[in-house]
Chains A and B, each alone.
Chain A
Amino acid sequence: MLKFIVRRLLLLIPILLGLSLLMVVFLHMLPGDPCGAILGEHSTPANIARCQHGLGLDKPLYQQYLDYMAGVIHGDFGVSATNKVSVTTSFLTRFPATIELTVAAMFLAIGIGIPLGVAAAKRQYSLFDNFATVASLIGISIPIFFLGLLLQYVFGVWLHWLPTAGRYDLGTFSYDHAGTNFLLWESLVINRNPAEFLDVVRHLILPAVALGTIPLAVVARITRSAVLEVLSEDYVRTARAKGLTSKRIDDRHVLRNAMLPISTVIGLQTGLLLGGAVLTEQIFSWGGVGNWLFQAAVDKDFAVIQSGALILASIFVVVNLIVDVGYAYLNPRIRYQ
């Protein structure tokens, strides 16, 4: 197993090298550069020339790439051309926000999707099953931006129940951001302030619902089909014939075996969400990685796009590795070479 993990991690090196090369080529094929974004109306030729010189964009492309990679090897991912904050600092500040949102969305997806899928499978073709199928179809089909805006309008603008932007009430609470930037953790465990915690939860609800709806629907559908498949297996019939209780059969045979495809989907969805829920973070002004990368792409902020892609690719590979390793736990017959 250890050999397998090490080999997969070593594979990261060619993946990241290839990705960095592709990124640098693609980015420089696009028209414009960060100077156009920075200078706006002030883009006189003299100003552009000075700006490009300042950012090293007047050097040959290979030289820019080598300079960048030399920095990366030394742990320096560069500085944003637009807001001058180092990529590492921005990422470390923003990634906890994305993790918190992802966990909340996946909490909803798993917490509701799996029970929904199991219940639908066990009542196949019933009214409930039809309802669950239609609901999950809607969940998969509804665009996030539409759902996000709808939620904002209904619960924020119309009912005034929930906030529509940010991670906490800036006017009421303040957090020591020298800490973790995991606000749920900080408010509950470090500050031990239930009011703060509830405030953070209130800010989390709408984006988590918007982001979690598609994974929820996917998980529910996969769970339903996986459970249906397992329910028709011989060993389940044998278990029933042995007189085991329904709960025991579900827990020990059905769910455990159905979890293989479900965990794959959960792993992939989590990896995707960690890569930045661009639309959700944009709509809810969530200070996460997706929001950051989107703005960097708009501003042609090369350092942020390049480094962000490298970091997120690494995370995606690691999450998938964790899923693969999880298979072995769920199904001891699986052996990795």
Chain B
Amino acid sequence: MKHRLRALLAVAALVFAACGGSTATSPIATSATAPTTGGTASGTPAAASGTPVATNGGTWVFGSATDPTTLDAILMQDGESIRIAQQIYETLVKLAPGSASTLVPGLAKSWDASADGLTYTFHLQTGVKFTDGTDFNADAAVYNVNRWKNLPEALQGDDYYDITVFAGYGDSSLIKSVTKVDDATFQMVLTTPKADFLTAMTLAPFSMQSPTALKAHNADKGSKDTSNDYWQKAPTGTGPFMFAGDFVSGDHYTIVKNPNYWDTANAAHLDKVIFKPIADSAQRLTALKSGTVDTIDFVDANQLKDVSSDSNLQLVTRSPLDIGRLNMNQNIKPFDDINVRKAISYAIDRKAIIDTFFPNGAAQAADSDLLPSMPAYAANATIAGYDQQKAKDALAASNCHAPCKIDFWYPDSVSRPYMVDPKGEFEAIRTMLEAVGFQITPQHLAWKGGYTGAEANGKYGLAFIGWIYDYADPADGPGIFYSTSLAKCGDVTPAKPHNCEAAEDNPAVVAGMAKAIAEPDAAKRTQDWKDVMALINADVADAPLVWAGSSLGLTKNIHGFVPSPTQTEYYNAVWKS
């Protein structure tokens, strides 16, 4: 027995010796040569603080939140899938790195729009190949656009962006036709003008995929199984990275450098990027600090200081493009009364919320559903700020006298960049509302337990909710919140579903938005949106609370990462020292 015990101890000693010995080669030990103070970057390239000369090679381990849910581009709707897709696929038009609205050439080197805003002609880059060796040309582009237009019914349940941007499929689609002009040119004709069309084309779901690969896996035939077979085995694009054939659900997803990338000046520095899903944000931070991963996304507001003060790490914060807000449904009493809505908006001390729940500059007080970075944002057309006396006066002028009893909904089991602690924030707002004469009945439901659906269906009078803009355009925000007028919301059936979360009681808002969305001239369009936002703010259609951005934590040896407010981030420029 003694001999066995000794042998056991010897094995244990060997294993621990191996553990100790390997520290010398762990990422943390290597980064000892990195600068010795923590650092932050806000909306600026991380490279600014790093070594100037990029080196090639290396593996970047990225701690993501979950696995990708699909990489059949047109079906993507979640950030983790899009994060990978932006590296292996490319769109016709791209956003400039770090920008939320500046368009730059992608697979199209230029484009022309007709004066009526209906016809777009794309001039394509030449010499581009998909990673399966086939050519990217007008035929491939036309094939992809036709797939968007005629998305098979079996796949439509998984789609969000296609239907949101093009409003339907087949004959109902905004895409009237798509035709090849020559090998390097094709034309898209829309049924009605859509001013944000080119901006929408920067979204990763509108990436170009290899028709050959799609056909080889029968993904064009329109079954969920074949679509899954395609993206899980051979998602094929033209990007600076390509799928490495190494996807272990729940463990990792690997992409490697595309050795034949067409844009040699922008070829990837890294050999490999591995996405490691870690669902819990605290565990992601532990993995970063222990050197298990090189980078994590969605650092919690209460973790920001922990990252920025760590001498081995750097904090990168995206400019805000998220809005936290209180939605007020005019279809439910007493929120049909503008004075009640005004009282709620006046009663909220947004600065106090930010000081308590968004320390370290994680958010700013919001006075509009738009962000100041958007051209249509106008400081003179914003909601009124915190004023308890005005709140009391407004409530006194309303039909709901103090104590005005209202239900107040908030979600459970969720944390979003604009809503880091829903219950805590709810309690804070509740105290503020009760201080001016409201009597609150708390109501809550799990975020994934049907909260968002019920809210959008117009079931809640007052609800804590928010929005993450996909691109910096009011159409992707107010254009959705207020898309349905009160008149239509009395008639919601499964066959005629409307977005009735606000049930805006002002037909001028709905009409004004339709005009703005169709206006092809940028300046006129901005003015249209300013007019609409003035109406919305005068109506106090909701109570904007905070503008928030998200943050990443990176080890100091990662350089060249350019944060984007829309999370449109390209990893070809990233390198590891």
Assembled-state Cα–Cα distance A26/B232 (Å): 32
Whether B224 pairs with A79 at a CB distance below 8 angstroms is yes
In the complex, B402 has a CB within 8 A of chain A:
no
Whether A177 pairs with B246 at a CB distance below 8 angstroms is yes
What does the 1/0 interface line of B437-472 toward A look like (CB < 8 Å)?
A: 000000001111111110111000000011110000
In the complex, chain B residues whose CB is within 8 Å of the CB of A38: 69, 77-78
Contacts A30-B449, A85-B228, A171-B274 given: A153-B286 contact, CB under 8 Å?
yes
Whether A36 pairs with B453 at a CB distance below 8 angstroms is yes
Assembled-state Cα–Cα distance A49/B160 (Å): 12
In the complex, chain B residues whose CB is within 8 Å of the CB of A41: 452, 465-468
Task: Spot the interface stretch: A1-9, A293-301, A325-333.
Answer: A293-301
Whether B456 pairs with A45 at a CB distance below 8 angstroms is yes
What does the 1/0 interface line of B276-296 toward A look like (CB < 8 Å)?
A: 111110010011011111100
In the complex, chain B residues whose CB is within 8 Å of the CB of A201: 15, 18
Output the least CB separation between B61 and chain A (Å). Answer: 5
What does the 1/0 interface line of A71-104 toward B look like (CB < 8 Å)?
A: 0000000010011111001100110010000000
CB interface residues, B 248-290, toward A, < 8 Å: 248-252, 254, 274, 276-280, 283, 286-287, 289-290
Assembled-state Cα–Cα distance A177/B290 (Å): 26
Partner of A89, one of B249, B286, B287, B292: B249
Contacts A44-B499, A156-B286, A167-B251 given: A300-B448 contact, CB under 8 Å?
yes
In the complex, B22 has a CB within 8 A of chain A:
yes
Assembled-state Cα–Cα distance A149/B122 (Å): 54
Total chain B interface residues with beta-carbon distance under 8 A: 86
Whether B249 pairs with A46 at a CB distance below 8 angstroms is no
Whether A285 pairs with B287 at a CB distance below 8 angstroms is yes
Whether B456 pairs with A84 at a CB distance below 8 angstroms is no
What does the 1/0 interface line of A226-250 toward B look like (CB < 8 Å)?
A: 0000000000000000000001000
Of A36, A58, A86, A292, which is in contact with the most chain B CB atoms at under 10 Å from its CB? A36
In the complex, chain A residues whose CB is within 8 Å of the CB of B156: 50, 54
Contacts A84-B70, A202-B22, A287-B250 given: A47-B160 contact, CB under 8 Å?
yes
In the complex, chain A residues whose CB is within 8 Å of the CB of B289: 156-157
Partner of A160, one of B29, B59, B227, B447: B29
In the complex, A313 has a CB within 8 A of chain B:
no
In the complex, A14 has a CB within 8 A of chain B:
no
Assembled-state Cα–Cα distance A247/B499 (Å): 78
Output the least CB separation between A98 and chain B (Å). Answer: 11
In the complex, A143 has a CB within 8 A of chain B:
no
Whether B26 pairs with A170 at a CB distance below 8 angstroms is no
In the complex, B52 has a CB within 8 A of chain A:
no
Q: Can you name the residue of chain A whose Cβ is closest to the Cβ of B480?
A: A44
28 contacting pairs across A/B (C-beta < 8 A): A31-B449, A32-B451, A33-B450, A36-B447, A40-B78, A41-B465, A43-B453, A48-B497, A58-B494, A82-B69, A83-B66, A83-B68, A83-B69, A85-B232, A93-B248, A163-B291, A164-B286, A165-B278, A166-B251, A171-B60, A181-B248, A202-B18, A285-B276, A285-B278, A285-B279, A285-B283, A288-B250, A298-B448
Closest CB pairs A-B (n = 10): A54-B157, A45-B497, A287-B251, A32-B450, A32-B449, A156-B290, A43-B452, A287-B250, A37-B448, A165-B287
Contact surface of A with B, Cβ cutoff 8 Å: 30-33, 35-55, 58, 79, 82-86, 89-90, 93-94, 97, 111, 115, 149, 152-153, 156-157, 160-167, 170-172, 174, 177, 181, 198-199, 201-202, 205, 247, 282-285, 287-288, 291-292, 295, 298-300
Beyond A46-B163, A50-B156, A299-B448: 14 further Cβ-contacts under 8 Å? A31-B445, A36-B447, A40-B447, A46-B497, A48-B456, A55-B157, A90-B249, A157-B289, A170-B276, A177-B248, A198-B18, A198-B22, A202-B15, A295-B66
